[in-house]
Amino acid sequence: MSARTHAPERGHFPDHIAEFARVLRRAGMPVGPGAVVDAVKAVEAAGIERRTDFYWALHAVLVKRHEHDPIFNEAFRLFWRRRHGFEHIMDAMLPLAPEASKQRAAQRRVEEAMTPSAREPRELKRQEVQIDMSGTMSDLEVLQKKDFAQMSAEEISTARRHIETIVFADDEMRRRRLVANPRGHRIDMRRTLRASLRTGGAIIDLKRRAPGHKKPPIVALLDISGSMSEYSRVGLHFLHALTEARGSVSTFLFGTRLTNVTRALKTRDADEALASCAGTAQDWSGGTRIGIALHDFNKHWSRRVLSQGAIVLLITDGLERDATERLGFELDRLHRSCRRLIWLNPLLRYDAFEARAKGVLAMLPHVDEVRPMHNLASLGALAEALAHDRPSAHIDPKRWLSRAA
């Protein structure tokens, strides 16, 4: 672009950096074109005499998250060692990118588009209002109460369409930021004076302000072990709808280990989001180690996602095989670091459910609410309940504890 005097040492350098950025991008790191320009400038400033300087100069510009450190490190090592065999490097980075799962989701949609019977549910969703009005009401009622575990594949997919249309309650939490409010208790001097000067200072009309409100963040921990298999996918779908509706939702999956799928769920298309979740978590339908998963969460994530008065949704059947003492300890810690802890347990579908399992007994004392989540009606009830802070009797964990005693 401009004729710069110290250009000689530049050579092909910018090209190589652009190439390197391309590798990082394919490895799943968000590196924009602006970052490449910055990287060239940074390297020019830092010089390339020492490898470490070069490394940290690129690092300062291209890495924006601590989690990306290992990716950057690996890419740097491979890329700047050997320039040839470059396509090979990209292949090696591929498993990190969600490329494969994306294809699958797209494929499915193409297939759906080709066969008319598969396309029907899509249209159903669009005319959702009409369906409620027409004679299918009873069908819908049946569907509302039907256990997810007993649904056919077709019913499940209809249920999923309905989950997408759940209206979430307008729950709000007071925040400390003050906003203009004519009935507020504090006087807003800035606006008061500005307004009074419009009349030349003759009339001073008091403007007021009061604390604003916002939706509290939600953190969901979803059990994806074998015993939960009928519910975890529907649960994930529910969480996708929730993420769509309110934005500040963090979702973690756990079976034998904990996986953060928040980013994957932010994808608009539900199929694509779920497919990419499935690709991220590797322990679907395996065993459960709730205690260890919670420990992992408490240690690595609780301080990062629970700080703004979050509501935690713990979705599990509580059938823990590991030491239950640890489970109680970790859940207690989780309970103390969030505003409200809601346990969604699909086992509550049985009327005769009793808190007998050791895991369940260890967990009950530490949660604020226990709710069912086995059918559409219970999910709808939860969506509404998020707005009410005071738990009612039927969801009080003490009820199950006293029954067990």
Partner 1 sequence: MKTDRKVSAVPASIDETLKLLSSGGYVADRALSTVVYLALKMGRPLFLEGEAGVGKTEVAKVLSATLGRRLLRLQCYEGLDIASALYEWNYAAQMIAIRIAESEGIDRERLTSDIFSERFLVRRPLLEALSPDPAGAPVLLVDELDRADEAFEAFLLEVLADFQVTIPELGTVKALVPPIVIVTSNRTREVHDALKRRCLYHWIDYPTFARELAIVTAKVPDSAEKLSRDIVGFVQQLRKEDLFKAPGTAETLDWASALVVLDAKALEPSLISDTLGVVLKYQDDVVRFDQPKLEQMLRDSRAALKAVE
Would you tell me which residues interact with partner 1 (CB under 8 A)?
30, 32, 34-35, 38, 41-42, 45-47, 52-53, 56-57, 59-61, 63-66, 69, 175-178, 189-190, 193-194, 196-197, 200-202, 298-299, 303-305, 307-308, 329, 333
Output the smallest distance, CB 174 to partner 1, in A. Answer: 10
- Least CB distance to partner 1 at residue 193 (A): 6
Looking at the Cβ atoms of 58 and 348, the one nearer to partner 1 is 58
Give the nearer residue to partner 1 in terms of CB position, either 5 or 152. 5
Residue that the structure tokens 């979050």 belong to: 310
Shortest spacing between CB 61 and partner 1, in angstroms:
6
Q: Toward partner 1, which CB reaches closer, 63 or 159?
A: 63
Please state the φ and ψ torsions of residue 388, each to the nearest 5 degrees: -100, 125
Cβ distance to partner 1 smaller for residue 192 or 227: 192
Torsion of CA 368, 371, 373, 375, to 10 degrees: -150
CB of 100 to partner 1, least distance (A): 25
Residue closer to partner 1 (CB basis): 220 or 370:
220
| Cα 38 from Cα 31, distance rounded (Å) | 11
Q: How far is the CB of 45 from partner 1 (least distance, A)?
A: 5
Q: How far is the CB of 334 from partner 1 (least distance, A)?
A: 12
Taking the least distance from each CB to partner 1, the nearer of 116 and 200 is 200
